[in-house]
């Protein structure tokens, strides 16, 4: 069974992000990057399925050179090989363009299963996996928390709203976007890290895939710090002073003491 | 020339979901700005309860797509049915609420119709026919404005509470049946059973005070710092999704788009940055105190009191002070 995991690299969770001078992206120079949160769960699920079904897991990642670190990490955790779609501009392009590029890069692989995380923590469109499925003519399911491979099909448990779940079946090949939570994330072992160095990483140039990189139907005009809608009192500095000020607020404004 | 704004209605137990009423409100406002009519589409095996509910709203028309194959939601069923409606009616804009269901099919539908979708928007503006969409990026730290310049239909999904459903204008709306040409063999997903997750041991929606914890607490052992404060204040513990995913507390304590929506008298957050998915679940709290070391944490934008500092130093002192004050 051939399984792909679409993996995105995003700024680390507690990165102090600043806007760039032109106000159309963040200043990336001093920012560290990591594997997107829900993609970790997608990778974990891909590895679980591969273990039980004699599968091979291919990491598919798009982005500049820095994404190679995330690819190495995924290979160290047990993925078998990787496809790196090299694109400097990818981070700011729209989900449909991203999906077209990814679909063009992997269409000849004939994956039985394509997994992604639910959404990225940077732009959070939550569309790329679904669009790749549509382009490649595959059925899909989103918000998946459990999977079970059956004969020629896959049964998945999907998270619904309000604490409900649903089971559905899809014929293979299929695409699933994985919700975070209900599986353990694997750690890279020393042996895994050693072995990762020998695993194949195919390099593909996004420009060579014949996809028009015009930014699609939506143009990013600007990124900016939101105007605050609420008046906020800020406390900082000495902890004892902060606590005294807080107690006053809790008594006289929140009225909970 | 494409005309009109189509809103796709989502429903549960034969009632229109609030997020769809919010989407209709957004569509009415956009329709007024653009001088465009507003249509709604309902999909079900029997649409009458939902079309009945919507017929007292100010809409130009409600399309009822009644078909036994639309009794259960499937991405294929909805996409095929809606593609037929969209090709026939040729709307300029399609709006859906950014629900779990919309996440599942809306992008696929947009592509199938030759359009594109901007997901999870918080505002739509129209200036002489040009549409600008605002959405939050980098977990709510920044806003981004996108202009629409496509040739096809502009698909938009709206974040929960982007518009206030109480402002939905009343009026009358005619209901028109739309016959869908659907074959069961085209629906690749087989829907099996639905079931409720684990039973809850706390109902945060009923809590007066919530002490909410996030990744900033760093390790599960540090939970006791938050628990001591909660106990001193008579509060319940709430949490962001990552903390629930890591198993520190049960999923019933999760606040946000995939958990509970709460509005306690006091919401005191510890080490929560305030990603959109969390904020939509707690922003209507009466009083919000947020403690975080990052002065740019987006949670501070909606807080009444922002405490920039080390929660490990402040919270134990706060707990003692609360005990003394009581």
ipTM of the complex: 0.92
Note whether B84 and B137 are same-domain residues: yes
Q: How many domains does chain B have?
A: 2
pLDDT at A98: 92
CATH of the domain at A12: 3.40.50.620
- Is some CB atom of chain B closer than 8 A to the CB atom of A32? no
pLDDT of residue B304: 96
In a domain, A251, yes or no: no
B321–A244 CB contact, under 8 Å: yes
The answer to the question of residue B64 being in a domain is yes
A244 domain-assigned? no
What global pTM score does this model have?
A: 0.90
For residue B312, is it within any domain?
yes
**B71 lies in the same domain as B164:** yes
Specify if B46 maps to a domain.
Answer: yes
In a domain, B193, yes or no: no
Alpha-carbon distance A248 to nearest alpha carbon in chain B (angstroms) = 10
Please report the pLDDT score of residue A91 as a whole number: 52
Query: B179 with B214, same domain?
Result: no
* CA gap B159, B162 in Å, rounded: 5
What are the chain A neighbours of B310 within 8 Å (beta carbons)? Answer: 239
Instruction: Clarify whether residues B118 and B243 are in a common domain.
Output: no
Question: How many domains does chain A divide into?
Answer: 1
Strand order in the sheet with B266-270: A233-236, B305-308, B288-292, B266-270, B209-213, B236-239
- Residue A257 located in a structural domain: no
pLDDT attached to residue B198: 72
Domain membership of residue A86 as a residue range: 2-208
What letter does residue B249 receive in the DSSP assignment? Answer: S
Looking up residue B295, the CATH number of its domain turns out to be 3.40.50.1220
Put simply, the answer to whether B322 touches A250 (Cβ < 8 Å) is yes
Inter-chain residue contact B192 with A166, CB threshold 8 Å: yes
B44 lies in the same domain as B154:
yes
Instruction: List per-residue pLDDT tens for chain A, 257 residues long.
Output: 999 999 999 999 878 899 999 888 899 888 999 999 999 999 999 999 999 999 999 999 999 999 999 999 999 999 999 999 998 875 557 899 999 999 999 999 999 999 999 999 999 999 999 999 999 999 999 999 999 999 999 999 999 987 889 999 999 999 999 998 767 888 899 999 999 999 999 999 988 998 887 668 899 999 999 887 788 999 999 999 999 999 999 999 999 99
Please indicate whether, in this complex, the C-beta atoms of A163 and B197 are within 8 angstroms of each other.
yes
Q: Which domain holds residue B256?
A: 204-325
CATH code: domain of residue B71:
3.40.50.620
Residue after which a domain boundary falls, among B186, B212, B245: B186
Q: Are residues B217 and B249 in the same domain?
A: yes
From A123, A169, A218, residue closest to B137, measured CB to CB: A123
Segment 2-21 of chain A within 8 Å of chain B by CB: 11, 13-14, 16-17, 19
> For the CA atoms of A10, A15, A16, A22, what is the dihedral angle to 10 degrees?
-20
Q: Inter-chain contact A17–B144, Cβ cutoff 8 Å?
A: no
Residues of chain A with Cβ-Cβ distance to B188 below 8 Å are 139, 170-171
Cβ contact A13:B293 at 8 Å: no
Please give the angle made by the CA atoms of B257, B261 and B265, to the nearest 5 degrees: 140
Burial of B184: CB neighbours in 10 Å, binned 0-12, 13-18, 19+: exposed
Closest partner residue to B111 (CB to CB) among A131, A141, A223 is A131
Domain membership of residue A250 (yes or no) is: no
B191 touches chain A (CB under 8 A): yes
Hey, which residues 175-194 in chain A have their CB within 8 Å of chain B? Answer: 179-181
| Whether B232 and B294 share a structural domain | yes
Q: Is residue A218 part of a domain?
A: no
B143 and B50 both lie in a single domain: yes
């Amino acid at each position: 069974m051939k399984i792909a995991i679409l993996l995105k690299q995003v700024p680390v969770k507690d990165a102090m992000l600043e806007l760039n001078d032109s106000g159309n992206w963040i200043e990336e120079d001093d920012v560290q990057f990591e594997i997107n949160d829900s993609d970790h769960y997608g990778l974990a699920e891909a590895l679980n399925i591969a273990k039980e079904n004699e599968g091979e897991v291919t990491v598919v990642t798009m982005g500049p050179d820095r994404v190679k670190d995330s690819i190495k990490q995924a290979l160290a955790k047990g993925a078998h090989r990787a496809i790196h779609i090299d694109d400097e501009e990818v981070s700011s392009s729209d989900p449909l363009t991203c999906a077209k590029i990814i679909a063009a890069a992997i269409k000849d692989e004939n994956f039985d299963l394509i997994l992604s995380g639910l959404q990225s923590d940077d732009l959070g469109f939550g569309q790329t996996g679904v669009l790749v499925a549509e382009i490649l003519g595959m059925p899909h399911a989103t918000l998946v928390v459990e999977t079970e491979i059956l004969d020629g099909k896959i049964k998945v448990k999907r998270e619904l709203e309000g604490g409900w779940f649903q089971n559905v079946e899809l014929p293979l090949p299929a695409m699933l976007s994985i919700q975070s939570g209900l599986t353990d994330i694997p750690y890279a072992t020393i042996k895994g890290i050693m072995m990762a160095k020998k695993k194949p990483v195919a390099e593909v140039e996004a420009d060579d895939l014949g996809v028009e990189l015009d930014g699609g139907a939506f143009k990013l005009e600007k990124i900016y710090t939101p105007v605050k809608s609420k008046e906020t009192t800020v406390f900082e500095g000495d902890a004892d002073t902060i606590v005294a000020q807080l107690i006053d607020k809790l008594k006289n404004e929140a009225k909970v003491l | 020339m494409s005309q009109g704004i189509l809103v796709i209605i989502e429903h549960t137990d034969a009632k229109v979901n609030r997020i769809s009423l919010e989407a209709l409100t957004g569509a009415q406002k956009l329709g007024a700005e653009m001088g465009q009519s507003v249509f709604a589409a309902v999909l079900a095996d029997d649409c009458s309860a939902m079309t009945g509910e919507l017929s007292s709203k100010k809409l130009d028309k409600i399309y009822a797509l009644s078909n036994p194959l639309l009794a259960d939601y499937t991405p294929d069923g909805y996409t095929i049915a809606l593609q037929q409606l969209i090709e026939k009616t040729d709307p300029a804009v399609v709006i859906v609420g950014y629900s779990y269901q919309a996440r599942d099919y809306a992008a696929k539908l947009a592509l199938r119709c030759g359009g594109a979708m901007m997901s999870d928007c918080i505002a739509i503006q129209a200036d002489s026919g040009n549409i600008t969409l605002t959405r939050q990026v980098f977990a709510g730290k920044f806003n981004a404005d996108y202009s629409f310049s496509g040739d096809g239909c502009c698909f938009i999904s709206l974040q929960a509470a982007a518009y206030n459903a109480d402002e939905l204008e009343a009026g009358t709306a005619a209901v028109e049946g739309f016959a869908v040409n659907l074959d069961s063999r085209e629906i690749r997903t087989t829907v099996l059973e639905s079931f409720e997750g684990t039973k809850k041991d706390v109902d945060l929606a009923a809590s007066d005070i919530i002490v909410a914890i996030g990744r900033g607490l760093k390790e599960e052992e540090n939970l006791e710092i938050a628990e001591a404060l909660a106990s001193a204040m008579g509060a319940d513990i709430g949490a962001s999704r990552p903390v629930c995913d890591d198993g520190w507390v049960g999923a019933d304590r999760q606040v946000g788009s995939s958990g509970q929506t709460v509005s306690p008298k006091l919401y005191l957050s510890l080490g929560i940055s305030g990603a959109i998915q969390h904020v939509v679940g707690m922003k209507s709290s009466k009083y919000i105190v947020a403690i975080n070391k990052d002065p740019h944490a987006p949670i501070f934008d909606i807080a009444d009191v922002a405490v920039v500092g080390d929660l490990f130093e402040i919270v134990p002192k706060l707990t003692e002070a609360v005990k003394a004050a009581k």
